[in-house]
């Protein structure tokens, strides 16, 4: 009877060992699956965070684009205003230049008339009037202040009322052109 009892024990030991081995394999499989689940959860968490970061970046970039569009609109509007203002200033400057040219021409004509009247009044009644000598072209003085040449005569001094009117006209012209001038007497 010993033989069958031994064989039954051996068979049970073998079954027990096989069951232990199967249980260890099953536990290793569970451990591996737990690790894969943990890795998967970590990956999902990282990707979720990356998605949130990307969405936040998208929102930020949309806001930046919206602000850039607002600024572009404002700059376009400001540019249009600046162009209009520059055109008005240019027109005022041209008008002031035209007025200056007109006053200068009137002054030159007045001086020439005074010169011609002075030369005719000093001639004797019996003598013929000599034609006026050819005038050299008159150079329009630049607006910059330059040193007068020694040969230039001193400018005529207008009466005080004319000087005041001239200063007032110059101040108004400058004000229309957008330039501030002092109001003091010169």
Structure confidence by residue, pLDDT tens digits, 65-106: 999 999 999 999 999 999 999 999 999 999 999 999 999 999
Residues 177 and 91: beta-carbon distance below 8 Å:
no
pLDDT band at 185 (very low <50, low <70, confident <90, very high): very low
pLDDT, greater one: 87 or 138? 87
| CA distance linking residue 86 with residue 97, whole number of Å | 16
| CA distance linking residue 8 with residue 4, whole number of Å | 6
Q: Is residue 147 scored above 90 in pLDDT?
A: no
Decide if 85 is inside a domain.
yes
Decide if 66 is inside a domain.
yes
Tally of domains within the chain = 1
DSSP collapsed to 3 states, 172-185: HHHHHCCCCCCCCC
- Per the structure block, which two tokens stand in for 164? 């005041």
Decide if 75 is inside a domain.
yes
| CA distance linking residue 145 with residue 61, whole number of Å | 57
Decide if 120 is inside a domain.
no
φ and ψ at residue 50, rounded to 5 degrees: -65, -40
Structure confidence by residue, pLDDT tens digits, 164-179: 777 787 777 877 877 6
Residues 176 and 90: beta-carbon distance below 8 Å:
no
Decide if 124 is inside a domain.
no
Decide if 33 is inside a domain.
yes
Range of lowest pLDDT (21-35, 63-77, 156-170): 156-170
Task: Report yes or no on whether pTM surpasses 0.85.
Answer: no
Decide if 150 is inside a domain.
no
- Per the structure block, which two tokens stand in for 178? 């957008």
The pLDDT, as a whole number, for residue 182 is: 63
Q: Is residue 124 scored above 50 in pLDDT?
A: no
Decide if 171 is inside a domain.
no
The pLDDT, as a whole number, for residue 179 is: 65
The whole domain housing 77 covers 13-91
Over range 94-123, report the average pLDDT. Answer: 88
């Amino acid at each position: 009877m010993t033989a069958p009892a031994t064989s039954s024990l051996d068979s049970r030991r073998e079954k027990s060992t096989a069951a232990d081995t199967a249980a260890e394999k099953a536990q290793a499989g569970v451990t591996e699956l737990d690790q894969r689940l943990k890795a998967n959860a970590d990956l999902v968490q990282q990707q979720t965070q990356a998605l949130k970061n990307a969405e936040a970046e998208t929102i930020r970039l949309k806001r930046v684009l919206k602000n850039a569009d607002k600024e572009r609109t404002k700059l376009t509007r400001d540019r249009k205003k600046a162009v209009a203002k520059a055109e008005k200033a240019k027109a005022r400057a041209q008008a002031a230049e035209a007025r200056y040219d007109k006053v200068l021409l009137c002054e030159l004509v007045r001086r020439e008339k005074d010169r011609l009247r002075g030369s005719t009044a000093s001639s004797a009644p019996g003598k013929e009037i000599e034609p006026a000598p050819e005038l050299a072209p008159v150079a329009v003085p630049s607006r910059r202040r330059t040193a007068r040449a020694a040969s230039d005569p001193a400018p005529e001094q207008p009466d005080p009322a004319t000087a005041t009117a001239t200063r007032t006209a110059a101040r108004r012209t400058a004000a229309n052109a957008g330039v501030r001038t002092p109001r003091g007497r010169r």
